[in-house]
Structure 1
Amino acid sequence: MELPVREEELQEIEELCSAATPGPWHVRTLNDDSAMNLVAVSTVPGAGAGERWPDFDHRDLVAATLVQHPRYVDVGDECWDENAAFVAMARDAVPRLVEEVRRLRALLADKDEGEGVSA
């Protein structure tokens, strides 16, 4: 059984989130001669599937889950789109989850104090 997340772990997660590129992040599908079938996570939304360079700025890209030609990034289970969606969602969701864990812990602590339960 997993032990509860310690406050130190929550602080570490929070620090990683704060240090990362600000969100929101978006999934983009790019395609050109240099990065064929590129599925990426970007700080700006895309204009649609198959955007080609120079119509996108590489500095907006945070991560790639598929770079098919040449084969630089190509996960074996072929969950490129799903992985990109998860990474993009996590940028905003993880800090919110840390806040929610702390909020719920505070509610439990208040409830326990009100009932005279000692920790």
Structure 2
Amino acid sequence: MDTPEPMTDDELAEIEEVANAATPGPWHVRLLDDDYAMNLVAISTVPDTGLGERWPDFDHHENVAATLVQQPRYVDVADERWDENAQFIAEARQNIPRLIAEIRRLRQLLATKDQSVGES
């Protein structure tokens, strides 16, 4: 695998812009159900209750995305990693902004260190 080029400040800013434009977090994985979705695995703005609510007992406005919608087969990834994909998406909402902040913090530390070495 090739080593990727270092990320530029502009690229980091673009990622941050996309993250800031998304529905605010935190996001959660919810396991829902209804006659059409059947075992819907959703990414939601509210936590899962553990009850597997069936529509209309859940508000569709709370769902950001789905990784499994079985009837009809609208969303059903071939490797069957619905739960894993949902967890990744939900955690990305919180982790991407944290990673951006960490990259900026580390870059600032390096810049400060480089300045102090240059002054010696």
Work out the number of aligned pairs and report it.
Answer: 117
In structure 1, the residue matched to 2:42 is: 40
- The 8 Å contact of residues 37 and 69 in structure 1, kept in 2 or not, is answered as no
In structure 2, the residue matched to 1:81 is: 83
Q: Offset at 1:69?
A: 1.4
- The 8 Å contact of residues 45 and 64 in structure 2, kept in 1 or not, is answered as yes
Identify unmatched segments of 5+ residues in structure 2: none
Q: Offset at 1:14?
A: 0.6
Q: 2:114 aligns with which of 108, 112, 115?
A: 112
3-state SS of 2:118 partner:
coil
Taking the TM superposition and a 5 Å limit, the aligned residue runs for 1:9-48 are: 9-48=11-50
3-state SS of 1:66 partner:
strand
- The 8 Å contact of residues 36 and 70 in structure 2, kept in 1 or not, is answered as no
**Identity of counterpart residues, as a percentage?**
67
Q: Letter of the aligned partner of 2:92 in structure 1?
A: A
Q: Offset at 1:75?
A: 0.4
* Runs of 4+ residues deviating >3 angstroms: none
CA distance in 2, matches of 1:40, 1:111: 45
Q: 2:59 aligns with which of 49, 57, 76?
A: 57
Identify unmatched segments of 5+ residues in structure 1: none
Q: Letter of the aligned partner of 1:73 in structure 2?
A: V
Q: TM-score, normalised by structure 2?
A: 0.94
In structure 2, the residue matched to 1:6 is: 8
Q: Offset at 1:49?
A: 4.5
- The 8 Å contact of residues 36 and 70 in structure 1, kept in 2 or not, is answered as no
Q: CA-atom RMSD, angstroms?
A: 1.1
CA deviation map 1:53-111 (0-9, x unaligned)? 11100000000000011100000110000000000000010011001001000000100
Q: Letter of the aligned partner of 1:22 in structure 2?
A: P
